Amino acid sequence: MRIPRVPRKNQCQGDRAFVLVIVLWMSAGLVTLALLFGQSMMLEYQAADNTWAGAQAAEAIEGAARYAMAVLTDWEEPGIVPEITAYLHQEVEVGDAMVWFLGRDPNAPSGSRTSVQPVFGLIDECSKLNLNTATVEMLKLLPRMTDELAAAIVDWRDEDDEVTENGAESNAYQLRSPAYACKNAEFETVEELCLLIGADWEILYGEDANLNGILDPNENDGNVSWPPDNQDGRLDPGILEYVTVYSREPNQRADSSARINITGDSSQEFQTLLQEKLGEERAAEIQVNLGSDLSSITSVLEVYIKSQMKEEEFAAIAGEISISDESYLPGLININTAPEAVLACIPGIGTAHAAAVVSYRQSNAGKLDSVAWLANVLDEAGAIAAGPYVTTRSYQYTADIAALGHEGKGYRRVRFVIDASEEEPVIRYRRDLTPAGWALGREIQNRWGAWKGENRVQQARQSL
C-alpha cells in the first residue's frame, strides 16, 4: 500500500504560509524600524526645536535686561519709581520670542496673597528690608523669622566676634563640617543667607518655591508635591521675598551736588534754601518752629514734623536736605512701594500700623511726593521713630525676566538686579531661575506654554 503523498497543493500552501509569515515578520520589522526611525527623528526634531526656542528665549532675556537698563537711564525722574505705563513689561515680542518682567503688587495684603496670576513690572529693591542695615528687632518682625536667624544675620555682617544674644559668630561656624568662618563683613547677595546658622529652606523660601510671589498649584497642595505648604489658599512666602542687600540712595540733590546736612554746620545754607523755595516770611516762621539747635534731629521727616511745614512746602525742599554727610544712604525703605510685611518691620509703624500705611497710600495715590504723608497715618512719636528708616526714592530694581521662544517653547528665566544709583545703571546680580520651574501662572501657560507646544508636536506627529 502506498502511503498517500501529501497533496502538492497543500505543501505549496504550507510554503506560501511560511513565506507569508516571514514577509509579515519582515514587514512588521520594517514598520517598527520606520516607526522607531520616525520617532527618533521626531525626538531629534523636538530636541533641536526646543534648543532653538530656548536659545531664542535666552537671547530675548539679554535684550530685555538691556531694555530695563535703558528705561532706568532715560527715566526723567531719577529716584522716583518709573510708572508702569512708562515701559513695556508683559508679552513683549522680541523677534519670535516673548518676554515678561515678573513684578509684585505692593498693595497686596500680606495675610491674603491669593493671586495665582502674576503682576508685571520692575521690582523695587528699596521696598525691601536691607540685610546690611536692619537691626535685630526689625529683622525679627519678618514673617517666618526666628530670633536665632535675626541675630545670626547681624553677627554675620558686623566686624566683631562678639556673639549677639541668640546669634552666631565664627565659634559656631567652626563647629560645622566642613568648618568655615563668620564673614564679619556686609552681605553681597541675599543667597549668602544659606550659609547662616538658623537659615533653613522653609524660612528662606516658605511656600514660594519658584520665587514668583504668586500661589502656584504645587504651593497649595500640601505635601503632594514640593514644596510643603499649608494648603490654605494663600501664599506664605519665605524671607527671600522681603530682603535685599542693594538698596542705597545717593545723598544728592537733583543737580548731583551734595544735599545740605542740616545737623552739621550749614544753618546758613539751609536758611537760604528755605528763603529761596518758600519765601522769607515762611522761612523765618519755620526757623522759629525748628529752633536753633538741629544737631539732635534724626531724620528729614522729623524736620517736617517739628517745622510744621505744609506737605507741599516740605516736598519742595525734601530732596535738598539730609542729616548725613555720607555720599550714600544705605537701606532706606520706600514707603510708597514696601509691602505690608516690610512696613511692619519699621520702628514706629510696626505690625500695628502697617496695614493703615498701605491703605492710606492706596487712597492717596499721586499725592505721595515725600515722606511727609507718613505723619498723616502715624502719631508724632511714631513718625519720628520711623523717620530714619524711610524714603520715597528708589534706585535699585530687580528685573525678573521670563521668556518663551517660538510657539511658546523654550521657557527661560533670569533675575537681574540693576543699580541706578551711579551715573550709569549697572547690573549687580544675575541668577538663572529657569530651574525653579514655570513662573508665569496658569493663564499664560495655557496660552503660550507647554500646552501649546505639545499641541504643535501632536500636529507634527500626525502629519508624518
Assess contact for 343 and 360: CB atoms under 8 A. Answer: no
CA distance 24 to 5: 29
Does residue 216 bind Ca ion (CB under 5 A)?
Answer: yes
Does residue 221 bind Ca ion (CB under 5 A)?
Answer: yes
Assess contact for 350 and 141: CB atoms under 8 A. Answer: yes
CB of 181 to Ca ion, least distance (A): 10
Give the CA angle between residues 397, 399, 400 to the nearest 5°. 130
CB of 153 to Ca ion, least distance (A): 10
Does residue 241 bind Ca ion (CB under 5 A)?
Answer: no
Q: Give residues 132-161 in contact with Ca ion (rule: CB under 5 A).
A: 155, 158
- Options 215-223, 245-253, 312-320, 428-436: segment touching Ca ion (CB under 5 A): 215-223
Residue with cell 495665582: 116
Nearer to Ca ion, 188 or 325 (CB): 188
* Rounded (10°) angle between helices 450-463 and 8-74: 150
Does residue 212 bind Ca ion (CB under 5 A)?
Answer: yes
Q: Give residues 247-306 in contact with Ca ion (rule: CB under 5 A).
A: none
CB of 324 to Ca ion, least distance (A): 24
**DSSP letters spanning 260-291:** EETTSS-HHHHHHHHHHHH-HHHHHHHHHHH-
| Residue 262 phi, psi (nearest 5) | -70, -15
CB of 226 to Ca ion, least distance (A): 6
C-alpha cell belonging to residue 393: 526714592
| Residue 68 phi, psi (nearest 5) | -60, -40
Residue type, 123: I
CA distance 383 to 220: 38
Q: Give residues 163-202 in contact with Ca ion (rule: CB under 5 A).
A: 184
Determine the size of the site formed for Ca ion (CB under 5 A): 15
> Hey, is 373 helix, strand or coil?
helix
Nearer to Ca ion, 135 or 230 (CB): 230
Nearer to Ca ion, 190 or 374 (CB): 190
- Options 51-59, 137-145, 209-217, 420-428: segment touching Ca ion (CB under 5 A): 209-217
Assess contact for 139 and 145: CB atoms under 8 A. Answer: yes
Distances (CA, A) of 71 to 98, 173, 248: 18, 43, 19
- Options 131-139, 219-227, 363-371, 444-452: segment touching Ca ion (CB under 5 A): 219-227
- Options 28-36, 211-219, 336-344, 352-360: segment touching Ca ion (CB under 5 A): 211-219
Assess contact for 410 and 56: CB atoms under 8 A. Answer: yes
- Options 205-213, 252-260, 272-280, 410-418: segment touching Ca ion (CB under 5 A): 205-213
Does residue 236 bind Ca ion (CB under 5 A)?
Answer: yes
Does residue 340 bind Ca ion (CB under 5 A)?
Answer: no
Does residue 210 bind Ca ion (CB under 5 A)?
Answer: yes
Nearer to Ca ion, 134 or 386 (CB): 134
CB of 278 to Ca ion, least distance (A): 46
Distances (CA, A) of 332 to 68, 244, 246, 284: 23, 11, 10, 31
User: Which residues here bind Ca ion, judged by CB under 5 A?
Assistant: 155, 158, 184, 207-208, 210, 212, 216, 218, 221, 229-230, 232, 234, 236
